[in-house]
Amino acid sequence: MRIGRYFTRQDAPGVRATLGLLVLGCVLPLSLVAAFLIVEFYQRGRQQLIDSTVTQAQAAIAGVDREFDSLQAALQALGTSRQLMTGDLAGFHTRARDALGNLHADSIVLVDPSGKLLLSTRRAYGEPLPRLPGTPLLKRIVATGRGGVSDLFPGPLAGQLIYTVGVPIRRDGAIVMTLNATATPAHLTSLLAEQKLPATWRTAILDSRGKIVARSHEAAKYVGKSATPALLHSLSVRGEGSLEGRALDGLPVYTVYSRSPRTGWTVAFGIPTAELTAGLRHSLGWLIAGTLAALALGLLLAWRVGGGIAHSVRALIPPALAAGSGDMPELPPLAIREARELAQAMRDAAASVRTAQAQSRESEHRLTLAAQAARLGIWVRDQLRHEIWVSDTWRALFGFPPGQTLTMADVLGRIHPEDRPAAEAALVQPRGRYELEFRIHHPDGAERWISSQGQAECDSAGQVTLVRGVSLDITARKQAELDMLQKQKELTHLSRVAMLGELSGTLAHELNQPLTAILSNAQAAQRFLRQPRPDLDELRDILHDIIEADERASAIIRRLRSLIGNQESVLQPVVADELLSDVLHILRADLIHHGVTLHTDLAGGTLRLQADRVQLQQVLINLIINACDAMAATPAAQRQIAIRSRRYGKQWQLDVQDSGPGIPPTQLGRIFEPFFTTKSQGMGLGLAICRSIVQAHQGRLWAENSDGGGACLHLSLPELP
Ligand code: ADP
């Protein structure tokens, strides 16, 4: 039993692989949905964070604005001090220094509209002060008449980066100077700290040009530097928003910013991207871990469960194979209910196979008995494997020893060389069903006739796969057939001789005529010779007449002898109408003797038949003699025979019609039966023999009654192609 090959088939997935796919099919879509939801939640959370950070940025920039507003308010209050109103700048210097303690500023300065520093709390009153290099805030205050805040710039006294908040000081409605409070960025740094943002966030305050005024990280390094180009660009487009990029220190951040419409200053918060996506990565990490764990667990289960199923199924292979041959070995314990059901079904199938095998054996036994009794040799030829199986009877029939492996050449070698081509054509390339008779040379020296019948089986492509059949020794039957043929031949001959016996009277009469002529010519010659001077010319003529008469007699005898002789049947080309003319010649005297008038209408021309000349003559003579016999009681003047030959397609047809009483309708079907006769001296074999001769020539012979009375016998024979 070749079980191994059932385990090695790779063209279909196993149970484990299928269950593994099932696990993948369940877990992966779930994981994908979870991943989608996580990303979705992340996007929403991110957006919420950004939105809240924008709000925080707005609050922070509002805080900066408030800082500036409170500075401006304090400056405006200081600007209304009596010392300043009265032009007591020294007193005002003292007053300003006092006020500085309550302000978020480092110094207070007075600047005239030309940019000249009039007073600075950094310096003692009266010390010389420099002129301010660039004074955009001053110009703006003079131009608008309203206070404002400058951008970051290097202070003219300490050289530090500072910004200043200034308000106009008017005298009689005109701006005569500006009062400014200057501060270092440190003042704003605390504002950033108040936002209580995560320590990792990059936060900054920018002036209206985008220069960093305060920064949460490495302020000393970046204060005074421009913000990133991306942020500057975004600021030029929108006063509030967010963008992704890198902070100045290179940290990837998501920047949220808000700019004050009043001062143009901006607060920007940079949320490290890693922090933003940390939650997502964390969740996705857990999801992947969970998915992998679920997959591992699922696959492990699939492996174990699949292994159990595969084990149960494989355990059924040996029993299944055994069940095919009717056996049912012990089954191992099976863990799966369906496998147990299958095992039960196989048990039932094995029982059915055993029953069928027993029936088949019984039927085979009977068949063998029947084949032996009938001496039938059975053979099966597998065309695909080129194997031949034969029964013992067949071996005995063909004379092959038991155990010899047979080939087609062995079988053909036994067949008689004359029969071999036909047998080879039928046996080597069989088509459907065939029947064949041939002779074989048995090794015991005997020649045997075999009848072989076979049936070919084809596959869906029409290719012959198997031929099976039986062979039977028909030597005895063939011998009987040959004997019968011989008997038939003898009978045919006898009937011909008998038929000629009927003609003998008229033949004698016909022979008499040339013999009489010979006698009278010989007597005349004797008379001439008795004359003294015989006329030699006359004698020559007489001898010539004698020879002619003798040849006529010889021809009559030759024709008779050819009919009487019992030669083998020889088929040869014969011109039909010539053969008919010969017969009429033989019968001419007999017809005259019977007082029959003959009408001939021959139209077959040179049409030829493949025929045995003598046998066909016998048929024609028989038909004409029967016609004469039928008219025995007919008045002599009305005895007529009409013979007509015609070509019908590829057939030569001869009609022999007489003017006798015809054939009674009840006898029309019987006149061809052997021994049917209505004549007192008749044997009833003539027409039976004629029909068998005609059938042997592939022709037809039948009788009808003519409309005008009398019988008409029809003969039809195939033309020689
Ligand atoms: P037989 O001549 O010895 O009787 P046949 O077989 O030749 O045997 O003829 C069988 C019978 O067929 C005849 O006895 C006769 O009754 C009938 N028969 C044959 N030819 C004719 C014919 N031309 N007209 C009428 N009857 C015929």
Helix (H, G, I), strand (E, B) or coil at 716: strand
Mean pLDDT by 10 residues, the chain (721 residues): 49 84 89 87 85 91 93 92 90 92 90 90 89 84 92 87 93 91 89 87 94 92 94 94 92 94 94 84 86 90 88 83 76 80 85 88 86 86 90 92 91 93 84 89 92 90 89 90 79 72 64 82 87 87 89 77 66 92 82 88 88 88 92 93 93 96 94 90 85 91 94 96 81
Distance 223 CA to ligand 1 centre (A): 150
Distance 497 CA to ligand 1 centre (A): 18
The whole-angstrom separation of Cα 626 and Cα 604 is 23
Asked if 312 and 339 touch (Cβ cutoff 8 Å), the reply is: yes
Distance 619 CA to ligand 1 centre (A): 13
Task: Identify the pLDDT of residue 425.
Answer: 86
**Ligand 1 atom with the shortest distance to the CA of 678:** 14
Q: Ligand 1: residues whose CB is within 6 Å? A: 622, 626-627, 630, 658, 660, 663, 671, 676-679, 682-688, 711
Distance 131 CA to ligand 1 centre (A): 169
The whole-angstrom separation of Cα 256 and Cα 60 is 12
Instruction: Please report the DSSP string for 358-398 in residue order.
Output: HHHHHHHHHHHHHHHHTTEEEEEEETTTTEEEE-HHHHHHH
The whole-angstrom separation of Cα 468 and Cα 396 is 18
In CATH, the number for domain 13-197+276-321 is 3.30.450.20
Distance 626 CA to ligand 1 centre (A): 6
For β-strands 464-473 and 433-441, DSSP reports them as unpaired
The whole-angstrom separation of Cα 201 and Cα 570 is 127
The whole-angstrom separation of Cα 554 and Cα 508 is 13
Asked if 186 and 156 touch (Cβ cutoff 8 Å), the reply is: no
Same fold: 13-197+276-321 with 375-469: yes
Q: Domain residue spans in the chain?
A: 13-197+276-321, 325-373, 375-469, 569-718
Distance 677 CA to ligand 1 centre (A): 6
The best mutation among 677, 689, 701, 706 to test binding of ligand 1, ranked by most ligand atoms within 8 Å of the C-beta, falls on: 677
For β-strands 640-648 and 597-602, DSSP reports them as parallel
- Neighbour-count burial for 576-610, b at 16+ CB within 10 Å, e otherwise: bbebbebbbebbebbbeebebebeeebebeebbbe
Asked if 687 and 626 touch (Cβ cutoff 8 Å), the reply is: yes
Helix (H, G, I), strand (E, B) or coil at 618: helix
The best mutation among 671, 676, 679, 689 to test binding of ligand 1, ranked by most ligand atoms within 8 Å of the C-beta, falls on: 671
Sign of CA dihedral 297, 298, 300, 304: positive
Token pair for 486: 């011989």
Residue located nearest, by CA, to atom 8 of ligand 1? 684
The amino acid present at 643, given as its one-letter code, is I
Distance 568 CA to ligand 1 centre (A): 27
The best mutation among 623, 643, 678, 712 to test binding of ligand 1, ranked by most ligand atoms within 8 Å of the C-beta, falls on: 678
Which backbone phi and psi does 148 adopt, to 5 degrees? -170, -175
Helix (H, G, I), strand (E, B) or coil at 531: coil
10 Å CB burial of residue 404 (0-12, 13-18, 19+) is exposed
Task: Identify the pLDDT of residue 237.
Answer: 94
Distance 670 CA to ligand 1 centre (A): 10
Distance 672 CA to ligand 1 centre (A): 9
Task: Identify the pLDDT of residue 235.
Answer: 93
**Ligand 1 atom with the shortest distance to the CA of 687:** 6
Q: In what order do the strands lie in the sheet with 202-206?
A: 212-215, 202-206, 266-272, 252-259, 240-246
User: For tokens 């922090």, what's the residue?
Assistant: 275
The whole-angstrom separation of Cα 364 and Cα 378 is 12
Chain centre to alpha carbon of residue 325: 34
Query: So what CATH class is 375-469?
Result: alpha beta
Distance 685 CA to ligand 1 centre (A): 9
The best mutation among 626, 677, 683, 690 to test binding of ligand 1, ranked by most ligand atoms within 8 Å of the C-beta, falls on: 626
Residue located nearest, by CA, to atom 14 of ligand 1? 677
Query: So what CATH class is 569-718?
Result: alpha beta
